[in-house]
């Protein structure tokens, strides 16, 4: 054989040898599950379950995927790794939607966001942040559980779109000292430090993880097309973000403690509510501090008891600068300031009892909720305009729940449950769940699911009244959603899995803000302080109005070889607003969504790409424009290199929106423009050292 | 998958159940995970059962879920002994069969104190004292390093330390919970003659494993593990109890009235000395030069 002819053979032989060595490697690292852990989900039934057995359609994103693909926030995960969930970023917040349901200025009130099973949605406005407002950096996440559709039977509501649960690492899964530093475009800088330790004292295991960090970015410089005389043009430093946090997770024996503190301040460069365009003073700030003490004890092989007590504190501050030549005191510049402070204090007790083919879950939770709100106009000189508005309101949530899972055979599981919740505001509401799970083969499960969910009105929606801009509505009742679903999960091998679902849902009693145009529209018997009903014309009142029907389907594929990992998600949903007997499309909600990722690992290098497709969607009806938004592809790249510079270091190069896509999303009616541009290309470099 | 012993078995994603016909004294074997070594133990258990005139049935499990729990509960209802191979299988089996009613023999569990499950454990590691004597002679070693994650293997480290003292050698414990601590801990490598790595989370972290093998190679120190896969990943050799000996010990334990939760029962019989190129059966009572090729 000639030398030239033998070269390909040598190359092929070397390649085959490398692949064989890689396969050996890969097979061994997969054995970790045999000795230490198995992938489970806890968010659906409040106990560890296999993905194929939980009564819901779920996606679990593990720490390896988070690192491999470079997901930075929960919004990233929803947009680039979920099946049919998405967020619209309006440069203040990531607003989440799911399965076709999306409502402007919703503030994620219909998705339950949790940290280690601790609900984060606050009582003032039911807000659950999926950015940096409430959770911890995903570098501290062990896994993220995404549960689709209403699944909050054991939580007492709020989950109309689904649940997103961030399960953090602990002192055992994130041991030692770690420092991660990031810098890049838009003057972005981030520092994250953690210390973890685990051990055993007198036979009792303990673990401790302490972490703190700070994120800052000046944001993208924007040059938006002018609209009228006062909106548009170049601006810089208005899209800023600051987010410090601290986090502690401690465990000893049956007790564990969760502490989180931090805030996130973000600019509002698109100037909502016709505020002053291009002002760096305009911002929102969300502060979330929480403490939870949990006790979890397995009494014997059958019985497990759990209890927890918690206190959450949330404050919100909004600064909207305005220019109004007709303002008081002869000053034309003033800032509208809204400050709220709410508290959520409560406890929960729960038991799981397992015998034969039966698993029973019983429990109850109570939360006392309180809110104070203050809003006023502050002039540039610091003086406050007369008429500052204040309110202090209390509420509660009490829920009792029960669920029975019966497995009469290896191939069949029947699950039934119900809860009854009493909320103030909102009233009393019961919610059932039923599921049939058939496993015709060990690696195939088919689930028929019926779920109901509800969302109580927030304290803000039901009880806030200043009689100049908004009035309360004592008659406001909870929204309710009913959902029927057929779901399939198939794992023909450990390296390939497929998931598919089809659903139909109907949301009734949609809560929306209505501008009162006639006294007869006022609900709840609200009377103006003057006693004149005409005084209420022009103010806002939250009312139940209209239903939303939705149906759709989705499919997800995951596969991996020795060195390649990949996934693909495609979802379709068709939502329709039912109002006065007519059907109309839901604005800002894309029927088609897709996301995917591919990663290649070789030695110390990993290259990964993720992408999402956001299908076209309608603008808000008030825009009176024929155009649509959406219909774009956004892609991210990550290149990782592991090396040693005395200590092990991982270097990550991220290029966000690598294609520089000019995508747009339909803007909320509170904005002057009809669309919001997605963020442009951004480069970030991170160094992650464990020492 | 063809095992070392040349027997082909069915792979399962999460586990295998081996059930014996109800007409004979009934046994149930539960296996969790897909690790090569535990597969070999399951196969050896099947063979051991065969020598006693029974032919086990093989069934797949689905995972650590309620289905497995209820299924095992049903399967074990008419059994007299349950063999569980691997930590997850032990956990589910002990819970499903209502511990105490049916004895659970736990195999393939490297750190039983972490499980806190009522069962009769069969030692994962070979008899440590003769093992130390053999290693000392084989590698001309007086000081052994022992690399481990404290939260997972503190009890194992204590057992190794006790055995080393009894064997007249010294053990230098090197606790390391993370890859960073590993770098610092391995600075002690110059003070030991041989480095030992138990079954530990550090092994399953690519970066940590690479650091361990690189440092041992550069210090020219023998690196010994306790899973048969380790030589392919850069270890000098692995030392494991022969699966047949493990199966025999488990079978004998199932016939004895040993108390659950007692100290793990040692495995009698030869061990396997596994290198990248060959597997050798070693009788720990013999001198290293007397070992025979398999």
For residue range A477-490, list pLDDT tens digits in order: 999 999 999 999 99
* Domains of chain B in sequence order: 15-124+243-268 (3.40.50.2300), 128-225 (3.40.50.2300)
pLDDT at A251 over 90: yes
Least confident of A12-16, A252-256, A420-424, A465-469: A12-16
Give pLDDT, residue A345: 97
What's the gap in Å between the CA of B40 and the closest CA on chain A?
13
Mean pLDDT of A331-351: 93
Contact residues on chain B for A203, CB-CB shorter than 8 A: 113
Whole-number Å distance between alpha carbons of A34 and B201: 11
Mean pLDDT of the A411-420 span: 92
Instruction: Answer yes or no: are the C-beta atoms of A591 and A642 closer than 8 Å.
Output: no
- Does residue A156 come out as left (phi exceeding 0), alpha (psi in the -120 to 50 range) or beta? left
Q: What is the pLDDT of residue A36?
A: 61
| Number of CB pairs, chain A paired with chain B, less than 8 A apart | 162
Share of chain A above pLDDT 90, in %: 68
pLDDT category at B286 given cuts 50, 70, 90 is low
Q: Which residue has the higher pLDDT, B79 or B292?
A: B79
Tokens 């800023």, residue?
A: A240
Instruction: Tell me how many degrees the CA angle A660-A663-A669 measures, rounded to the nearest 5.
Output: 145
Q: What is the pLDDT, as a whole number, of residue A4?
A: 45
Residue A252: pLDDT over 60: yes
Mean per-residue pLDDT, A95-114: 91
Residue of A nearest to B72 (CA): A356
Domains observed in chain A? 19-221+236-510+545-690 (2.40.170.20)
Q: For chain A, percent helix, then strand, then coil, each to nearest 5?
A: 10, 55, 35
Work out the minimum CA distance from B231 to partner chain A, whole angstroms.
Answer: 11
Q: Using a CB-CB distance cutoff of 8 angstroms, which residues of chain A are in contact with residue B232? A: 24, 28
Q: What is the pLDDT of residue B100?
A: 55
- Say what the pLDDT of residue B60 is: 52
Is A31 in contact with B211 (Cβ distance < 8 A)?
Answer: no
From chain A, the residues in CB contact with B36 under 8 A are 27, 31
Looking at the predicted structure, is the pLDDT value of residue A201 above 70?
yes
Nearest 10 degrees: Cα torsion B88, B94, B97, B101? 160
Q: What is the pLDDT of residue B19?
A: 41
- In sequence order, the 6+-apart residues with CB closer than 8 A to the CB of A586 are A100, A101, A102, A103, A548, A575, A576, A577, A618
Is the predicted pLDDT of residue A650 greater than 90, yes or no? Answer: yes
Handedness of CA A497, A502, A507, A512 (dihedral sign): positive
The verdict on pTM exceeding 0.80 is yes
Q: Which helix (H) or strand (E) holds B95?
A: helix B87-96
Upstream peptide bond of A425 is cis (omega within 30 degrees of 0): yes
Residue of B nearest to A41 (CA): B65
Q: Is the pLDDT of residue B67 over 80?
A: no
Q: What is the pLDDT of residue A442?
A: 73
CA-to-CA separations, A171 to A205, A642, A658, in angstroms, rounded: 11, 23, 36
CA-wise closest residue to A288 among A245, A345, A346, A242: A245
The predicted structure's pLDDT at residue A326: 67
Sign of the CA dihedral with A135 first, then A138, A141, and A144 last: positive
Predicted pLDDT at B65: 60
For the ranges A51-55, A366-370, A517-521, A529-533, the lowest mean pLDDT is seen at A51-55
Residue A203: its pLDDT value, please? Answer: 79
What is the rounded distance in angstroms from the CA atom of residue A31 to the CA atom of residue A65?
Answer: 18
- pLDDT category, A139, cuts 50, 70, 90? very high
Segment A366-372 shows an average pLDDT of 93
- Cβ of B70 within 8 Å of Cβ of A36? The answer is no
pLDDT digit string (tens) for B170-225? Answer: 999 999 988 889 999 999 999 999 999 999 988 888 889 999 999 999 999 999 99
Per CB-CB distance under 8 Å, the chain B contacts of A53 are 62-63, 65-67
For A195, nearest residue in chain B (alpha carbons): B178
Best probe of the A interface among B16, B60, B66, by most A CBs < 10 A, is B66
pLDDT at A21: 42
Q: What is the mean pLDDT of residues B107-117?
A: 83
CA distance A153 to A15: 53
| Distance, C-alpha A237 to centroid of its chain | 26
A372-A378-A381-A382 Cα dihedral, nearest 10 degrees: -10
Distances A204 to A207, A257, A299, A308, B116 between C-alpha atoms, Å: 10, 16, 16, 20, 10
Q: Cα angle vertex B93, ends B92, B99, to 5°?
A: 110
Residues of B within 8 A of A33 (CB-CB) are 33-34, 88
pLDDT in tens, A538-559: 999 999 988 999 999 999 999 9
**DSSP conformational letter for B230:** G
Mean pLDDT, to the nearest integer, of A243-255? 96
Answer whether A28 sits within 8 Å of B233, measured CB to CB: yes
What's the whole-number mean pLDDT along residues A241-262? Answer: 97
Rounded average pLDDT over B56-79: 62
**pLDDT of A20:** 42
The per-residue pLDDT for A17 is: 46
CB A164 within 8 A of CB A112: yes
Task: Report the residue from B35, B64, B232 with minimal CB separation from A35.
Answer: B35
* Residue labelled with tokens 């838009």: A186
Query: Is B178 touching A (CB cutoff 8 A)?
Result: yes
Best of B1, B111, B179 to disrupt the A interface (most A CBs within 10 Å) is B179
B34 vs A34: CB contact, 8 Å cut-off? yes
Cβ distance A540 to A516 under 8 Å? Answer: yes
Q: Residue A293 in 3-state DSSP? A: strand
pLDDT computed for residue A445 by the predictor: 92
Pick from A156-170, A447-461, B64-78: least confident:
B64-78
Per-residue confidence (pLDDT) for residue B32, from 0 to 100: 62
Higher pLDDT: A557 or A12? It is A557
Tell me what pLDDT residue A40 has. Answer: 57
Instruction: Work out the percent of chain B whose per-residue pLDDT is above 90.
Output: 39
Residue B122 has pLDDT above 80, yes or no: yes
**pLDDT tens per residue across span A495-505:** 899 999 999 99
Task: Note the pLDDT tens digit of each residue in A21-67.
Answer: 444 444 677 777 676 645 456 666 677 777 777 889 999 999 999 99
**How many Å lie between the alpha carbon of B168 and the closest alpha carbon of chain A?**
28
Neighbours of A576 (CB within 10 A): 17
Kindly determine whether residue A33 and residue B34, on different chains, have CB atoms separated by under 8 Å: yes
Mean pLDDT of A395-419: 91
Q: Hey, are the CB atoms on A354 and B95 less than 8 Å from each other?
A: yes
State the pLDDT at residue A223.
94
Q: What is the pLDDT averaged over residues B18-44?
A: 64
Residue pointed to by tokens 């396969």: A23
Q: To the nearest whole number, what is the mean pLDDT of chain B? A: 79
DSSP-derived 3-state class of residue A558: strand
pLDDT band, residue A218 (cuts 50/70/90): very high
Please give the full DSSP string across B266-282, using - where no structure is assigned.
Answer: PPPS-EEEE-SS-EEEE
> What CA–CA distance (Å, rounded) separates B284 from B286?
5
Distances (CA, A) of B93 to A617, A644, B44, B84, B85: 52, 43, 20, 7, 10
Residue of B nearest to A496 (CA): B13
Determine the 3-state secondary structure of A214 from DSSP.
Answer: strand
Across the interface, do B177 and A197 touch by the CB < 8 Å criterion? Answer: yes
Residue with more model confidence, A504 or A300: A504
């Amino acid at each position: 054989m000639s030398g030239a002819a033998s070269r390909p053979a040598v190359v092929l032989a070397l390649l085959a040898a490398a692949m064989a060595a890689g396969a050996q490697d890969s097979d061994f690292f997969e054995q970790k599950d045999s000795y230490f852990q198995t992938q489970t989900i806890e968010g659906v039934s409040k106990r560890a379950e296999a993905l194929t057995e939980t009564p819901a359609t779920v996606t679990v994103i593990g720490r390896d995927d988070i690192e491999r693909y470079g997901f930075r926030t929960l919004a990233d995960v929803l947009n680039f790794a979920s099946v049919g969930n998405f967020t619209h970023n309006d440069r203040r917040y990531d607003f989440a939607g799911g399965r076709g349901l999306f409502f402007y200025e919703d503030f994620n009130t219909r998705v339950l966001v949790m940290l280690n099973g601790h609900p984060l949605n606050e009582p003032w406005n039911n807000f659950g942040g999926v950015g940096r407002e409430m959770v911890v950096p995903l570098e501290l996440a062990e896994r993220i559980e995404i549960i689709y559709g209403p699944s909050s039977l054991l939580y007492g509501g709020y989950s109309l779109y689904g649940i997103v649960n961030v399960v953090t690492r602990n002192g055992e899964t994130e041991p030692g000292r770690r420092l991660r530093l990031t810098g890049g475009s838009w003057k972005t800088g981030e520092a994250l430090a953690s210390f973890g330790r685990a051990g055993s004292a007198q036979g009792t295991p303990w673990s401790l993880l302490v972490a703190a960090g700070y994120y800052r970015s000046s944001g993208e410089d924007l040059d938006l097309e002018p609209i009228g005389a006062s909106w548009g043009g170049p601006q810089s430093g208005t899209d800023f973000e600051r987010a410090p946090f601290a986090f502690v997770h401690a465990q000893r024996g049956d007790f564990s403690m969760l502490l989180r503190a931090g805030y996130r301040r973000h600019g509002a460069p698109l100037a909502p509510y016709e505020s002053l365009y291009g002002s760096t003073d305009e911002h929102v700030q969300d502060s979330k501090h929480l403490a939870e003490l949990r006790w979890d004890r397995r009494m014997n092989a059958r019985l497990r008891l759990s209890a927890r007590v918690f206190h959450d504190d949330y404050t919100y501050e909004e600064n909207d600068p305005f220019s109004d030549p007709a303002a008081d005191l002869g000053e034309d510049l003033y800032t509208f300031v809204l400050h709220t402070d709410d508290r959520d204090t409560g406890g929960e007790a729960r038991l799981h009892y397992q015998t034969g083919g039966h698993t029973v879950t019983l429990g109850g939770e109570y939360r006392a909720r309180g809110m104070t709100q203050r809003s006023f106009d502050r002039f540039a000189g610091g003086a406050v305009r007369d008429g500052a508005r204040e309110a202090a309101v209390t509420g509660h949530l009490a829920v009792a729940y029960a669920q029975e899972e019966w497995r009469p055979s290896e191939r069949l599981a029947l699950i039934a449950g119900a809860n009854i919740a009493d909320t103030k505001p909102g009233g009393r509401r019961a919610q059932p769940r039923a599921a049939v799970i058939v496993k015709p083969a060990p690696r195939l499960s088919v689930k028929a699911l019926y779920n109901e969910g509800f969302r109580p009105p927030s304290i803000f929606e039901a009880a806030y009244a200043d009689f100049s801009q908004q009035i309360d509505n004592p008659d406001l009742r909870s929204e309710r959603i009913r959902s029927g679903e057929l779901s399939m999960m198939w794992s023909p091998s450990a390296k390939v899995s497929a998931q598919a679902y089809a659903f139909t849902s109907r949301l009734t009693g949609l809560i929306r803000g209505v501008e009162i145009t006639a006294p007869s529209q006022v609900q709840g018997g609200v009377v103006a302080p003057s006693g004149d009903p005409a005084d209420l014309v022009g103010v806002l009142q939250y009312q139940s109005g209209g239903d939303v029907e939705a149906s759709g389907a989705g499919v997800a594929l995951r596969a991996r070889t020795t060195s390649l990992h990949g996934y693909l998600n495609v979802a379709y949903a068709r939502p329709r607003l039912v109002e006065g007997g007519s059907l109309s499309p839901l604005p800002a909600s894309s029927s088609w969504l897709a996301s995917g990722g591919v990663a290649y690992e070789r030695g110390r290098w990993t290259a990964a790409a993720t992408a999402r497709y956001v299908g076209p969607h309608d603008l808000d009806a008030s825009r009176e424009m024929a155009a649509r938004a959406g219909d774009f592809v956004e892609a991210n790249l990550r290149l990782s290199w592991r090396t040693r510079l005395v200590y092990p270091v991982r270097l990550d190069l991220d290029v966000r929106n690598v294609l520089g896509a000019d995508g747009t999303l339909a803007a909320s009616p509170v904005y002057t423009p009809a669309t919001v541009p997605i963020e442009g290309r951004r480069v970030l470099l991170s160094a992650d050292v464990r020492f | 998958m063809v095992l070392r012993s040349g027997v082909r078995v069915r792979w399962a994603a999460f586990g295998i159940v081996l059930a014996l016909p109800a007409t004979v004294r009934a046994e149930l074997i539960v296996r969790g995970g897909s690790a090569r070594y535990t597969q070999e133990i399951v196969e050896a258990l099947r063979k051991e059962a065969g020598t006693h005139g029974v032919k086990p049935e093989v069934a797949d499990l689905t995972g650590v879920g309620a289905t497995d729990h209820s299924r095992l509960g049903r399967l074990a209802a008419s059994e007299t002994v349950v063999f569980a191979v691997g930590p997850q299988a032990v956990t589910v089996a002990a819970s499903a069969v209502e511990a105490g009613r049916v004895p659970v023999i736990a195999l393939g569990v490297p750190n039983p104190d972490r499980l806190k499950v009522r069962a009769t454990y069969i030692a994962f590691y070979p008899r440590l004292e003769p093992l130390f004597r053999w290693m000392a002679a084989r590698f001309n070693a007086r000081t052994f390093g022992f690399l481990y994650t404290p939260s997972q293997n503190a009890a194992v480290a204590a057992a190794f330390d006790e055995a080393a003292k009894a064997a007249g050698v010294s053990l230098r414990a090197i606790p390391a919970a993370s890859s960073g601590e590993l770098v610092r801990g391995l600075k002690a490598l110059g003070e030991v003659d041989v480095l030992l790595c138990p079954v530990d989370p550090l092994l399953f972290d690519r970066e940590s494993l690479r650091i361990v093998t690189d440092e041992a190679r550069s210090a020219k120190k023998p690196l010994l593990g306790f899973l048969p896969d380790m030589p392919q990943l850069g270890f000098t050799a692995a030392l494991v109890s022969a699966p047949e000996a493990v199966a025999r010990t488990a079978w004998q334990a199932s016939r004895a009235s040993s108390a659950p939760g007692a100290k793990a029962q040692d495995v009698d019989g030869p061990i396997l000395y596994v290198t990248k190129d060959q597997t050798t059966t070693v009788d720990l009572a013999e001198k290293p030069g007397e070992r025979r090729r398999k």
